[in-house]
Structures are given as structure tokens and as C-alpha cells.
Amino acid sequence: MNRRFALLQATFSLVALGAVVWWASHQEAPEIPTSGSALAWMAGAAGLYAVATLVRGERWHRILHLIGVDAGRADCYCLTTVGYMGNNVLPARAGEALRVVLLDAKAKAGKRTLLGTIVAERLLDVIVLGVIIVATAYGVLSERDVLPTDRPLLIAVAAAVVLAAGAGVVTVLRRRGALERLRDFARPLAGAPRALVSRSGAVLLIGTFGLWVLEGGVYLAVARAVELDISSTGALYLVALTNFVAALPAAPGSIGTFDAAVIFGAKALGGAGGLVVAYALLLRFVLYVPITVVGLAVMFLRYGGWARLRSATRLQASNA
């Protein structure tokens, strides 16, 4: 099963990366900006992403305390960088399991309980990104005649097909008894998501909107560095689009899928070929390289290095 999933990830990434390389090879060569103003915009983008990472760490800390887990703020901040590093270098988003293993060694709260806090984080992100993409996609792209806004019936039929397919899958799983097993496994994970249905959960939801606005600022600052003309609304659209696509099975670091989403979105916003390629390259650098380096350093200096990394990989395999 794990080998099949790894093969699926590799296939998605290779297909997406091949499409990106083929398209980029037919554009003019990208020019990486080196002017003072461009470097200042890039430094600003890196700074905004650092702030967004701190906000993520604080959000995780608040979710943990919401369910009574006594976790230190420093550990939450540090393990957030370690988790992103793990997602960038390990398959199957094993960085999440890495966070769970390392925090459980200190908090002794139970791995599935801690994994529930990761589920709560993702739930907040999905709600906010869903709102953002609905609020921005039609407003931004309909002006450029990109979305099929004149075909509501087609959209409705596609949605109905997806819902019918989902209902069919649930029916098959129920007949095979898989839903009961899933409930038993998921029960310890449900504590943190349930705790979000509260005033504190509403505050966390508002904070998550602020978090993704910060990340939108990263996308906008990189666009300014390469002189790609997109608005703040367009940057938020790109944030939502790329993060939804990043949820697809892919190789570590969302290789191929992230780049394809950035290129598709930036082209839809009116970017020219060479600028879009430069934008995708620099955006990947800002979002992936610094946090991976910091996460590796924290992993070795604070949490025991490769031995813990192997433990997290085994946990991720067993969960899969």
C-alpha cells in the first residue's frame, strides 16, 4: 500500500513537472532580478514568511492548550519549522508525523491526540482558503474571461458528479465495515477539531485569516521583485490555488504540482511567460529553502537529528 502511494505521488509530480518544464522551455529565458529594489522586495517576502511561520507556531500552541496539552511555546514554534522541513524533504508529508513524535516525547499526550491538533490546523486552513478562493477567483478571473461564468449548468453538473462519486465511496466503505474501523481510529483525533467550536475557536479562525493574508503578502512581494503586475486580491487567489493544489499527492516539497499551480494562476492573472517562470522560481525559493534550512538546524540542535527523523518516518508509514 505504501509503495503504491509513493508511486502515485511520484507519478503526479513527474507529470506536473514535465508539463512545467515543457511549457517553460517555450518561453523566453527568465531574468532573475538583482537590483536593489528587487532584493529589498525579496528580503521583505522572506521576513513576511518568517512572521507567518511564527503565527503558525502560536496557533498550534493555542490549539494544544485548548485541549489541555501542556506544550511550551518555544517547542511549538521550533517544531513548526521542523514540520515544514519534514514536508519538504520527506514523502507523504511526514513532517506532520515528525512534529507529533517530537512533541509527544516531551508532552506525553498521546500521538493520536496530538495528531488531532494537526487535523484542527488543516481544518482552519481549509475553511479560510475556501473562503478566499471563492471570494477572489470569480472577482479576479472573470474579468479576464478565464472562468466559465456563463456555464452555471456545467458547473452544477460537475459538482453533482463529484458528490455522487463521494456518496458511492462512502456506501462501499460502510458495507465493508471500514467506517466503523475508521471511527475507532479517529476518535482520539476528534478532540481538537471539536474544541474549535467555541469562542476560542472563532478567535483562531480570525487569526488564520490573518495568517493567510501574511502569506498573500509574500506572494505579492515576490511579484513586485520580478515586476509581475498582480494585485493584492490576485496574490490571495494564488495563495489559495497553490495550497489547494499542494494537497494533491506529490513528491516532497510538492515538486511539480506547486510550480504548475503558480504558473497556471500567474498566467491567468495576465503574467507574461518569462516573468511567470522567474516568479515561480523565486517564490519556490522563498517558501521552501529558508524554512528547510532553519528546520534542519533546529532538528539537529534541539531534537536529536536523524534518529528522530527515522522514528517519524516509521510512524507515518504505520499510519498510512
Please indicate, yes or no, if residue 155 is contained in any of the structural domains: no
pLDDT of 254: 84
Please indicate, yes or no, if residue 180 is contained in any of the structural domains: no
Sequence-distant (6+) residues with CB within 8 A of 115 are 96, 97, 100, 189, 319
Number of structural domains found in the chain: 1
Q: With b meaning 16 or more CB within 10 Å and e meaning fewer, what string describes 77-115?
A: bbbbbbbbbbbbbbbbbbbbbbbbbbbbeebebebbbbb
pLDDT of 252: 82
For residue 6 the three cell numbers come to 509513493
pLDDT of 139: 65
pLDDT of 108: 86
Cβ distance 120 to 195 under 8 Å?
A: yes
Please indicate, yes or no, if residue 184 is contained in any of the structural domains: no
Please indicate, yes or no, if residue 160 is contained in any of the structural domains: no
pLDDT of 150: 45
pLDDT of 192: 80
Which amino acid does the sequence have at 155?
I
DSSP-derived letter for residue 236 is H
Instruction: Say whether pTM exceeds 0.85.
Output: no
Residue 262 class from Cβ within 10 Å (0-12 exposed, 13-18 middle, 19+ buried)?
A: buried
Give the range of the structural domain holding residue 119, as residue numbers without chain letter.
Answer: 2-148+189-319
For residue 289 the three cell numbers come to 529553502
| Nearest alpha carbon to residue 47 among 222, 262, 278 | 222
pLDDT of 175: 67
Please indicate, yes or no, if residue 49 is contained in any of the structural domains: yes
Which residues in the chain land under pLDDT 50? 1, 147-152, 179, 320
Only one residue has cell 525579496, namely 42
Please indicate, yes or no, if residue 162 is contained in any of the structural domains: no
N-terminal to C-terminal alpha carbon distance within the chain: 8
Please indicate, yes or no, if residue 158 is contained in any of the structural domains: no
For residue 246 the three cell numbers come to 499542494
Please indicate, yes or no, if residue 30 is contained in any of the structural domains: yes
| Nearest alpha carbon to residue 3 among 90, 93, 89, 91 | 91
Cα separation, 58 vs 73, in Å, equals 7
CB count in 10 Å sphere of residue 72: 13
